[in-house]
């Protein structure tokens, strides 16, 4: 089964900052990596799919990229509503797997 | 719009069974793979199971394989999760989720079915 390792587990940042989260897959998963935002008590929300494609309605300050089996998720100009936990997920093959999550907190 | 509404959560004793349901609307249910995902208290998201649009292919996380069964009724646009031999560490919020229509399932596995829509979740508490 494919494992996905996400880092860091948490980070503190200020409004206006740029933050980057990384996921590394245990084998090639091509473009099949998605990023989700999750706030307490709410349904998770997909932000990016297929490595770098923004879901409809997602602001352009969110972005994704890939280098080999390493995938990066970036938020530029961090906004107050962006403080949440973010997860990556590989969907190359089931069983699907999530990264462990990154909690983005206010500095 | 896509709407997924879970039901069936509650408090159950260890070793007992519980069946969750998800009512789908706003899309052609029979065209999409569907998933169950959970989040235990203080933990991250954990993918549990996927079922193909026609129900003929299913795959599970190792943590629930042999105890949980995913099923669907395309005539009613409903997705179910039968949970048997429940343990305390199954305590979690359970989410129903839709897989991307661009993926496919074959030979008991699904490919490219990233989650594009989520329900609000239903809480299952396993406790004596």
Task: State whether B62 and A42 contact (CB < 8 Å).
Answer: no
Q: How far is B62 from chain A (nearest CA, A)?
A: 8
- Beta-carbon contacts of A62 under 8 Å, excluding residues fewer than 6 positions away, are A35, A47, A48, A54, A73, A74, A75
**pLDDT band of B127, cuts 50, 70, 90:** very high
Residues of B in contact with A32 (CB under 8 A): 111-112, 114
Give the mean pLDDT of B113-123: 96
Give the mean pLDDT of A3-18: 97
Answer whether A87 touches B (CB < 8 Å): yes
The confidence score (pLDDT) of residue A6 equals 98
Residues of A in contact with B112 (CB under 8 A): 32, 91-92
B34-79 pLDDT, tens digit each? 999 999 999 999 999 999 999 999 999 999 999 999 999 999 999 9
The confidence score (pLDDT) of residue A107 equals 87
Q: How far is A39 from chain B (nearest CA, A)?
A: 11
Task: State whether B115 and A36 contact (CB < 8 Å).
Answer: yes
Q: Are B45 and B39 in contact (CB under 8 A)?
A: yes
Question: Closest chain A residue to B63 measured between Cα atoms?
Answer: A95
Mean confidence (pLDDT) of chain A: 97
| % of chain B surpassing 70 pLDDT | 100
Q: Are A48 and A35 in contact (CB under 8 A)?
A: yes
- Beta-carbon contacts of B2 under 8 Å, excluding residues fewer than 6 positions away, are B24, B25, B26, B27, B98, B117
Task: State whether B47 and A97 contact (CB < 8 Å).
Answer: yes
The confidence score (pLDDT) of residue A47 equals 98
Question: Closest chain B residue to A101 measured between Cα atoms?
Answer: B44
Q: Which of B2, B22, B42, B44 to mutate to test the interface with A (most CBs of A within 10 A)?
A: B44
The confidence score (pLDDT) of residue A106 equals 87
Looking at per-residue confidence, does A106 or A28 come out higher? A28
- Six-digit token pair at B45? 């998201």
Answer whether A52 touches B (CB < 8 Å): no
B87-104 pLDDT, tens digit each? 999 999 999 999 998 899
Task: State whether B35 and A96 contact (CB < 8 Å).
Answer: yes
DSSP string, chain A: ---EEEE-SEEEE-TT--EEEEEEESS--TT-EEEEEE-TTS--EEEEETTTEEPTT--TTEEEEEETTEEEEEESS--GGG-SEEEEEE-SSSSPEE---EEEEE-
Answer whether A71 touches B (CB < 8 Å): no
Question: Closest chain A residue to B123 measured between Cα atoms?
Answer: A41
Mean confidence (pLDDT) of chain B: 97
**At which residue do the structure tokens 């429940």 appear?**
B86
Answer whether A93 touches B (CB < 8 Å): yes
A53-83 pLDDT, tens digit each? 999 999 999 999 999 999 999 999 999 999 9
């Amino acid at each position: 089964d494919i494992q996905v390792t996400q880092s860091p587990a948490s980070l503190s940042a200020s409004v206006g900052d740029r933050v980057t989260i990384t996921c590394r897959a245990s084998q090639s998963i091509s473009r099949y990596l998605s990023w989700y935002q999750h706030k307490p008590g709410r349904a998770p929300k997909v932000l990016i799919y297929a490595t770098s494609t923004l879901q409809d309605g997602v602001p352009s300050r969110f972005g994704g990229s890939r280098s080999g089996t390493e995938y990066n998720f970036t938020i530029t100009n961090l906004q107050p509503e962006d403080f949440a936990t973010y997860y990556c997920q590989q969907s190359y093959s089931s069983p699907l797997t999530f990264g462990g999550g990154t909690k983005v907190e206010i500095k | 719009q896509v709407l997924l509404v879970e039901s069936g959560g509650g408090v159950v004793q260890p070793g007992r069974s519980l069946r969750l349901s998800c009512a789908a609307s706003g899309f052609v249910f029979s065209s999409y793979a569907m998933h169950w995902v959970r989040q235990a208290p203080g933990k991250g998201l954990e993918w549990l199971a996927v079922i193909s649009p026609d129900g003929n292919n299913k795959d599970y996380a190792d943590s629930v394989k042999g105890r949980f069964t995913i099923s669907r009724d395309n005539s009613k646009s409903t997705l179910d999760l039968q949970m048997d031999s429940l343990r305390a560490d199954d305590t979690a919020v359970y989410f129903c989720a839709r897989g991307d229509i661009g993926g496919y399932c074959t030979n008991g596995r699904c490919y490219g079915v990233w989650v594009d829509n989520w329900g609000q979740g239903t809480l299952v508490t396993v406790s004596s």
